[in-house]
Amino acid sequence: MDLGLKNKVIIVTGGYSGIGEAIVREAAKEGAIPIIIGRSEERGTALEEELKRQGFDCLSVVAELSDASQCSNAIQQVLAKYGRINALVNNAGFNDGVGLESGSPERFLSSIQNNIFHYYTMAHYALPALKKEEDSSIINISSKTGVTGQGGTSAYVASKAGQLGLTREWAVELLPYKIRVNAIAPAEVMTPLYEKWLQTFDNPQEKLHEINKRIPLGKRMTTSEEIAYMTLFLISNKSMHTTGQIIYVDGGYTHLDRAIT
């Protein structure tokens, strides 16, 4: 299926690793122009150069997303080179394990700054450009934990729940501009950060097997590419009448009856 994304400028925060990297790579294959935004110049540049060697157009922009001025500067760099933004994919963030018992007010605030502040800030600064395009959209990559909770991760879960709330709020606010806003809520996805977490267990393979057993469809984790496919479909004009939705790409993990697992 041709998604009609050729030459669409798609910003992806946290785009050099994990789910973000998969979105960038698949966007390039669709003929879009992915913009890789993150704090690591080395990793962003390496991915940009690799994609350019393969004949794809893309751009890496270095930004510390917890700093509003750097978010603004990143948007301006994109506009200076391409003159437009067709889609924003808010993706960057990580589970830092700031719990109610184990955390502190200071760590909680810092986690919120790292995990949800830039979702708002990037959308705020990208909005004037998004308004100018005929069919533009925002995708918030969230998590099923924003609905289910997890335990021991108060700040991360608060951020993920907030991202889902912002999705619905922005979908309403941006209706007059026909800017579609949707969220994707993965559950268990094997990313470098997830792999790092698995390695904290005495028997990582046993823990992985335990997790896989709880995933109804196929008894396996979702791949980053499967999140990317849904992201690009939601950006595309194949889903022009879809907005304000939370899409669970999770093998049925969140909603199917636990009795079957």
**Per-residue pLDDT tens over the stretch 54-69:** 999 999 999 999 999 9
The answer on pLDDT for 243 being more than 80 is: yes
Backbone torsions φ then ψ of 151, nearest 5 degrees:
100, 120
- Catalytic annotation present for 194: no
**What pLDDT score does 256 carry?**
86
Which tokens hold the place of 15? Answer: 């785009």
Tell me if the pTM is above 0.85.
yes
**Quick one: pLDDT band at residue 194, thresholds 50, 70, 90?**
confident
- Tell me the CA distances in angstroms from 101 to 144, 155, 157, 167, 197, one per residue in order: 22, 12, 14, 29, 20
Give 177-186 pLDDT, tens digit per residue: 999 999 999 9
Which tokens hold the place of 242? Answer: 């879809």
> CA nearest 93: which of 61, 122, 128?
122
Class of domain 9-187+223-250: alpha beta
Torsion over CA of 142, 116, 175 and 86, rounded to 10 degrees? -80
- Tell me the CA distances in angstroms from 169 to 55, 132, 186, one per residue in order: 38, 20, 20
> CA nearest 74: which of 14, 22, 132, 27?
14
> CA nearest 115: which of 51, 177, 160?
160
- Range list for CATH 3.40.50.720 in the chain: 9-187+223-250
Pick the catalytic residue: 16, 125, 156, 253? 156
If one compares 97 and 26, the residue with the highest pLDDT of the two is 26
The answer on pLDDT for 258 being more than 70 is: no
> CA nearest 51: which of 71, 21, 79, 89?
21
